[in-house]
Amino acid sequence: MKIRILSAFAATLFLSAATNFPSSAAPGLSNIERDEIQLGYALVSAEFYKKVEPQTLLDGAHDELVTFLKKSGVKAPNVPVLKATDDAALNIRALEREVSNLVALYGAKLGARELTYQAIAGMLSSVKDKYTTFLTPKEYAQLNEGLDGGNFSGVGITIGVDDTTKMLRVNEVLPGLPADKAGVQPGDLITAIDGKPTKGLTTDDDAKLLRGKEGSVVRVTVERNGASVAPISITRAVIHLPSVYSKMLDGGIGYTRLTVFGSTTATELSQALDRLEAQHAKAYILDLRDNGGGYLNAAIEVSSKFIPSGPIVSVESRAGNNTEYDADATAIPPRPLAVLVNKYTASASEITSGAIQDNGVGELVGEKTYGKGVVQSIHPLPDGSAVKITSARYLTPRGRDINQIGITPDIVTVEPKDSRFGEPAHDPQLQSAITYLQGRIAKLGI
């Protein structure tokens, strides 16, 4: 992505000017830990979309370290307040020495790597932006898995916590995968997994129980339509989660649901649209509900499937540079289009929603979107952790800044708590989109 390459280059230049001092400046820290402190300071200084004062970064690191030490049982942490200078190299060296001293005092119990993480996390949190955060190696791996559908051994369902029963609810069953073959159905309540009740567990807890070694068997207890069914045994297999689901609805309406804007989403969408075109789709529904976003370039590529030409989004950096991204000439033949949105439609999803609305190629149906009009750059660190930094804001083709505002749909339809996405009889927003498209199909005579 162009904007990310330029930002990373700026941080590299900053680093080259800030790190000309001997590695012995911080005994007790490994080269990797020193590098990560330097990178954290340099990246947030160079990339954050607003100017950041050096003292703010040092204070943030100090406060986070103190908080962490107190939570870890240190009653009176010895963490001196650092005084920033105009020399980035001196500031970084001072912070390294601070962390090095803490390693000498508390490292046997807490570890140099964890103290390093806390210092970096404090610098990032000091800018008071909820999207600018430090990611541990585990968190970064989970983020990549969510965006790119990473391979894991599981059963092939998407899940949520049922609002009423607080038990595990099956939202979708991926066709051809273990749960589908075993007879699990969308809407099933899984009351227990290998005998462990799911009531009160989080989706992360449930996912850990459902995943396991390839070829192993997990036994689930299920309620369906209020009645118990025989326990179901599912043999786990390697799963690669798609980000696009599609099917043909009655009346020749092609339905596509995007769960994320990942690295393969545009390709998956193209394949789905080709299948629906081959089935003579007369109109399309693009479902972006509960889609929290992903890659900027994926939003541009997805939008380009429906917008033949013209602007998709404008990205404005801290320096005031405005980069406009246009449709990439890959649009399908024009058809009536409805885009489903809700309060969890965010970021890249809002880029696509705003582009479609501003270009007049489709109607938005549902509820006001989340309102995330800023762009993050993600930078891996040497040990597999990463920093995520808000590096720019974006505007829709008509120049709308939707940050903390959201996008109001053209057809407002409330989403009930028990809505089942993709099932017209249990999904009023989907039914509204179908009604709108039926009217368009009749008017156009297609």
Which two three-digit tokens encode residue 60?
């943030």
Where in the sequence is the domain holding 335, given as residue range(s)? 244-444
Same domain, 319 and 174: no
Which residues are part of the catalytic machinery? Answer: 347, 358, 372
> At which of 81, 113, 128 does a domain end?
128
Q: What's the confidence (pLDDT) of residue 89?
A: 96
* CATH number, position 294: 3.90.226.10
Residues 395 and 268 reside in one and the same domain: yes
Domain membership of residue 374 (yes or no) is yes
Q: What is the pLDDT of residue 261?
A: 97
pLDDT at 16 over 70: no
The predicted pLDDT at position 399 comes to 96
CB 264 within 8 A of CB 243: yes
Helix (H, G, I), strand (E, B) or coil at 311: strand
pLDDT at residue 63 is higher than 60 = yes
pLDDT for res 4: 33
Is residue 433 domain-shared with residue 371, that is, in the same domain?
A: yes
12, pLDDT greater than 50: no
For the segment 436-442, the average pLDDT, to the nearest whole number, is 97
pLDDT of amino acid 407: 98
Picking from 397, 301, 288, the residue whose alpha carbon sits closest to that of residue 347 is 288
- Secondary structure letter of residue 410 according to DSSP: S
The tally of domains found in the chain comes to 3
Q: How confident is the model at residue 13 (pLDDT cuts 50, 70, 90)?
A: very low
Among the ranges given (148-157, 201-210, 387-396), the one the predictor scored with the smallest mean pLDDT: 148-157
75, 157: one domain:
no
Relative to beta strand 168-173, strand 152-154 is: unpaired
pLDDT in tens, 334-348: 999 999 999 999 999
Cβ-contact 173, 157 below 8 angstroms: yes
pLDDT in tens, 224-239: 999 999 999 999 999 8
Report whether 18 contacts 40 (CB < 8 A).
no
pLDDT per residue as tens digits for the range 280-322: 999 999 999 999 999 999 999 999 999 999 999 999 988 778 9
Q: Are residues 195 and 292 in the same domain?
A: no
Does 235 share its domain with 248?
no
- Under DSSP, the state recorded for 183 is T
What is residue 359's predicted lDDT score, i.e. its pLDDT? 98
Q: State whether 258 and 405 are in the same domain.
A: yes
Of residues 224, 253, 350, the one with CA closest to residue 296: 350
State residue 22's pLDDT score: 44
Domain boundary among 239, 263, 287: 239
| Shared domain check, 250 and 367 | yes
- Whether 14 shows a pLDDT value over 90: the answer reads no
Give the per-residue pLDDT at 160: 84
- Span 262-277, pLDDT tens digits: 999 999 999 999 999 9
| Residue range 79-87: mean pLDDT, rounded | 96
Claim to verify: residue 319 and residue 342 sit in the same structural domain: yes
> What average pLDDT score do residues 81-100 get?
97
User: Taking all residues of the chain, what is their mean pLDDT, rounded to a whole number?
Assistant: 91
Highest mean pLDDT pick, 14-28, 53-67, 411-425: 53-67
> What is the model's pLDDT at position 25?
55
End-to-end C-alpha distance for the chain, whole angstroms: 39
> By mean pLDDT, which of 10-19, 86-95, 364-373 is the weakest?
10-19
pLDDT tens digit string along 151-204? 789 999 988 888 889 999 998 888 889 999 999 998 899 999 999 999 999 888
Cα distance between residue 411 and residue 213, in whole Å: 46
Angstrom distance (rounded) from CA 287 to CA 174: 17
> Which of 239, 269, 286 is the last residue in one of the domains?
239
101 in the same domain as 79:
yes
- H or E, element range at 439: helix 428-444
User: Is residue 143 one of the residues assigned to a domain?
Assistant: no
Collapse the DSSP code of 218 into the 3-class scheme (helix H, G, I; strand E, B; otherwise coil) and give the result. strand
Question: Is the domain of 100 the same as that of 171?
Answer: no
State percent of the chain over pLDDT 70. Answer: 94
Of the pLDDT bands very low, low, confident and very high (cuts 50, 70, 90), residue 417 is: confident
Whether 343 and 211 share a structural domain: no
Measured CA to CA, the distance from residue 445 to residue 436 in angstroms comes to 14
pLDDT in tens, 377-389: 999 999 999 999 9
Quick check: pTM over 0.85? no
SS3 call for 405: coil
